[in-house]
Amino acid sequence: MRSSSLATRLFLSATAWVVVILLITGIALSSVYRAATERAFDRRLNLYLRTLIAEVATPDDLTEHQFQSLGEPLFDLPLSGWYWQIVREDSSKHESRTSRSLWDKKLPKLEDRGFPLTSAGVRQAYVDGPEGQDLRIVERRVDLGADGKFLISVAGDATEISEETRAFDYYLFGTFAALTVGLLLTTIFQVRFGLAPLKRISEAIADIRSGRAERLQGTFPVEIAPLARETNALIDANREIVERARTHVGNLAHAIKTPLSVIVNEASARRPDPFAAKILEQAEVMRNQVTHHLERARIAARQTIIGTVTDVAPVIDALGRTMEKIHRGIDIEIDAAAGVRFRGERQDFEEMVGNLVDNACKWARGRVAIGVTAEAAGTPDQGRVLRICVDDDGPGLSPAEREQAARRGARLDESKPGSGLGLSIVADLAALYGGRFTLGGAPTGGLRAELVLPAA
């Protein structure tokens, strides 16, 4: 699974934080609003309670006194959800008086249900009332001395609190939803344009890697400018290291080949001597080894250069014309897709393909075919690859012979000229570029040499 981009991670992180913060804020505001609504409702109930206490405190008898409606018509509407109740507790009859809305029902006593007194000396709670209503009750005991002891209760329909809170939650949800959308759009804008310089650097580095540019160009914000400067400095340092490596490889080649040439010349002058013949044989082995390993060192140094690309079609056409002149009577057919480019140096590409075409021409009866295509790699991270197939109509090779042919210095037929290093150099070069080289059967009946390399 591919890792998500920085912009995506930042957006998801910002979205998660926005949602969490707004959710917590919404819950807190809803709770605060419900508490405020409940306090306002309780103040209303306590007002009615004090009015009833004032009525009870008059010298008139409870059973004969006509209570007012307390200014609330709902106290007269049957089972309206708004009730009051006065119970005299110092009388054996427990005479009581209730609002008309209660009819023959009774309000529960909060004291019997274990609800505590508040600092104001009242009890208040939510209870189930007549007809299953959700009631908010305030209750207070009043001691009038010789005039008696009374338990006074006032209840209101608590659905008003729930409806007020629910309406507030709806408005709050709508407001926060709009705020969330606005914040997310703002976050998208900030992430998109805030990370734009990083995207430019990424595209510029891709251009350098593919050979379309040599350095990071343009003006970057002060936060990103040091990254651009260090990247350019790294590219310059890489080029300097490669140039020094090339120089060292050249010096080493000269230092080793000159003594070898002296040894070969001295041994050649004494060729009849068996000892001289042995020296010539081993000197040739040494020369092949030195050539092979110096070539690998040279290739490895060049392969580390950033931003080098090669157009494939011109190189293939030039090699085809050259090989037709060298190998008379061989017809070379070329099918190379236009616009295909190899991510590497031209000299390396010429060496790899030239060895394959030269080998095919040596063994072909009369025809060699070169096909070049660009295709997607096996995984998305690898990008595109270049596939080069060189087919001949010669005798071909068995699987065992194909394996032996790719070995360094191996020659299946001494009658053909060469050192036996060509195919092994191709394999080494392909491996250094992250590609591969294989031998197989060609549709024409001969040998197919297939080369897969990174494409630009």
What pLDDT is recorded for position 64?
Answer: 43
Q: Are 266 and 283 in contact (CB under 8 A)?
A: no
pLDDT at residue 418 is higher than 60: no
Domain covering 7-164 in this structure, CATH number: 3.30.450
67-85: average pLDDT: 83
pLDDT in tens, 225-274: 888 888 888 888 877 877 777 777 767 766 777 787 878 788 787 777 78
What pLDDT is recorded for position 372?
Answer: 92
Q: Which residues contact 224 (CB under 8 A, 6 or more apart)?
A: 197, 198, 201
Q: Which residues contact 420 (CB under 8 A, 6 or more apart)?
A: 408, 409, 410, 411
The b-or-e profile of 258-291 (16+ CB within 10 A means b, else e) is: eeeeebbeebeeeeeeeeeeebbeebeeebeeeb
Chain-wide mean pLDDT for the chain?
81
pLDDT in tens, 137-192: 999 999 888 778 899 999 999 999 999 999 999 999 999 999 888 888 887 887 77
pLDDT grade for 3, boundaries at 50, 70 and 90:
very low
Longest Cα pair distance anywhere in the chain, in angstroms? 154
Domain ranges of the chain: 7-164, 225-303, 310-454
As a whole-number percent, the residues of the chain with pLDDT over 70 amount to 84
- The dihedral formed by the CA atoms of 409, 411, 417 and 423, expressed in degrees to the nearest 10: -60
Comparison of pLDDT for 212 and 29, the residue scoring more: 29
Q: What is the pTM of this model?
A: 0.47
439-450: average pLDDT: 88
Comparison of pLDDT for 453 and 410, the residue scoring more: 453
pLDDT at residue 108 is higher than 80: yes
82-111: average pLDDT: 84
pLDDT at residue 130 is higher than 80: yes
- The dihedral formed by the CA atoms of 238, 244, 248 and 249, expressed in degrees to the nearest 10: 50
Question: What does DSSP assign to residue 92?
Answer: T
Comparison of pLDDT for 304 and 197, the residue scoring more: 197
**Which residues does residue 452 pair with via DSSP β-bridges, in sequence order?**
387, 436
pLDDT in tens, 349-374: 888 999 899 989 988 988 999 999 98
Q: Which CATH architecture has domain 310-454?
A: 2-Layer Sandwich (3.30)
SS (HEC) of 404-451: HHCCCCCCCCCCCCCCCCHHHHHHHHHHHCCCEEEEEECCCCCEEEEE
